[in-house]
Copies of this chain bind each other. A is one copy, B any other.
Amino acid sequence: MNRSLILGADVGGTYVKYVLGDGDEPGRWTGEVPSDPASPATTFGRLAARVAELLPPAAGIGAAGLACAGIVDVRTGRLGRTPNLPGWEGADLAGLMGIAFPGAAIALANDVNAALAGEARFGAGRNGSDLVMLALGTGVGGAVMIEGRLLAGHRFGAGEIGHTILDVAGPPCNCGNRGCLEAYAGSRGLLAAARRRAAAPDCSPGLRALVAERGDLLTTRDLADLATVSDLAAADRDAAALFREAGERLGQAVGNLLNVLDPDRVIIGGGVAAAGELLLGPCREAAARIVLCEAARSTPIVPAQLGSAAAAFGAAHLAAIHLAAAAPRERS
């Protein structure tokens, strides 16, 4: 067994992304294997087979970290509610990973927590110890790091920043409430806002045409392209306004977090964040208006750097930490 080899894996509904390497080069091998939404054991078997292909015969790995969407109970190693992996609920993730990778130290984390761990070690959070991350995907995930440690919460319910309510009379959210951050800054919410705007009689022709043309295939990328490319044309006005409104709501949520936690910096990732300054500019302005502590008003609000690999890198990093903590005991 090569104890310096560390695996990090991020399970999604379709694929498991993995990184495999060591401290010098954590991403020496990267790739993905299909995930089986009905069976974690089958999925981990595929992952173990891939790792065996990459390594010399009979070589093992020192540690494996697994990132998974949903409520991950890091004390018991079990998975709770996880909407995109229905067959995985209640699974003993730590036990199954231990069977797939015998002898390896196993670490588990919620996927957004793992992404923050990855950004903190290798990306936008380097040299920071008190960090907040928001991942703007279909929904909005969140994670909090305090003094270098991820905050899981007393009942593993921390980091649900996407469901902080910004306006009790706001647009409906997938969770059943109204006015959650997710309803404004997740792609589902942003696309719904675009369709509402396109239906209004005074909508810009560009946005109306885009929404009609793309139909169900409309993406936030389409909207960002419309807002950016036709920068000075009348057509882009409403597309830019959509990002400005989402950015201002994101800024309200971030400003609230700065008032509560006063972290080193805030990292914004996920597909919607690819809109860049269209979203982050209004976000920074709105957040600065809210923060009471003068010194905290200029807290950096920065884009994530590792993209969709963040959680796999973070899982590898958490596994390496776990291995280092376990090693002295094993040697004694």
Using a CB–CB cutoff of 8 Å, the interface residues on chain A facing chain B are 71, 81, 130, 142, 144, 146-147, 149, 151-161, 163-168, 175, 177, 252, 255-264, 289-296, 299
- How would you classify the secondary structure of chain A's contact residues: helix, strand, loop or mixed? loop
Q: Do A175 and B260 touch (CB < 8 A)?
A: no
Tell me if A156 and B293 are in contact (CB < 8 A).
yes
In the complex, chain B residues whose CB is within 8 Å of the CB of A299: 154-155
Residue of B nearest to A257 (CB): B260
Q: Which B residues touch A294, using CB under 8 A?
A: 81
CB contact under 8 A between A146 and B157, given known A175-B292, A260-B257, A292-B163? no
* B158 close to A252 (CB less than 8 A): no
Q: Is the CB of B142 within 8 A of A260?
A: yes
Query: A154 near B296 (CB under 8 angstroms)?
Result: yes
CA distance A255 to B263 in the complex (A): 20
B157→A295 contact, CB < 8 A: yes
Neighbouring B residues of A142 by C-beta, 8 Å: 260
- Which residues does chain B contribute within 8 Å of A263, judged by CB atoms? 153-154
- Name the contact of A256 in the complex, choosing from B130, B146, B165 (C-beta under 8 A): B165
Residues of chain B lying within 8 A (CB to CB) of residue A130: 153-154
Tell which of B71, B153, B177 touches A290, judged by Cβ atoms closer than 8 Å: B177
- Beyond the given A154-B296, A157-B293, A158-B261, could you list 7 further A-B residue pairs with CB under 8 A, ordered by the A residue number? A144-B260, A144-B261, A152-B262, A157-B258, A165-B252, A165-B290, A166-B168
Inter-chain contacts of A290 with B (CB < 8 A): 163-165, 177
Q: Do residues B161 and A259 form an inter-chain contact, with CB atoms below 8 A?
A: yes
A105 vs B146: C-alpha distance when bound (angstroms): 27
Give which listed residue, B156, B164, B167, contacts A259 with CB less than 8 A: B164
**Complex contact A160–B71 (CB within 8 A):** no
Q: Is B71 within 8 A of A293, CB to CB?
A: yes
Q: A167-B168, A252-B168, A290-B165 are in contact. Are A155 and B259 (CB under 8 A)?
A: no
Residues of B with C-beta under 8 A to A259: 157, 160-161, 163-164
| Residue among A167, A256, A258 with max Cβ neighbours from chain B (10 Å) | A256
Chain B residues closer than 8 Å to A147, beta-carbon distance: 149
| Shortest distance between the CB of A72 and any CB in chain B (Å) | 12
Let me know if A153 and B289 touch, CB within 8 A.
no
Q: How near does chain B come to A199, taking the closest CB pair, in angstroms?
A: 24
Cα separation A290 to B294 with both chains bound (whole Å) = 30
Residues on B with C-beta less than 8 A from A164 are 256, 259-260, 290
Which of B155, B167, B292 has a CB less than 8 Å from the CB of A293? Answer: B155
In the complex, residue of chain B having the shortest beta-carbon distance to the beta carbon of A294 = B81
Give 30 pairs: A residue, B residue, CB < 8 Å, sorted on A. Answer: A71-B293, A142-B260, A144-B260, A146-B151, A151-B262, A153-B263, A154-B262, A155-B295, A155-B299, A156-B262, A156-B293, A156-B295, A157-B262, A157-B295, A157-B296, A159-B260, A160-B259, A160-B260, A160-B291, A160-B292, A160-B293, A161-B260, A164-B260, A164-B290, A165-B256, A166-B168, A167-B167, A175-B292, A177-B289, A177-B290
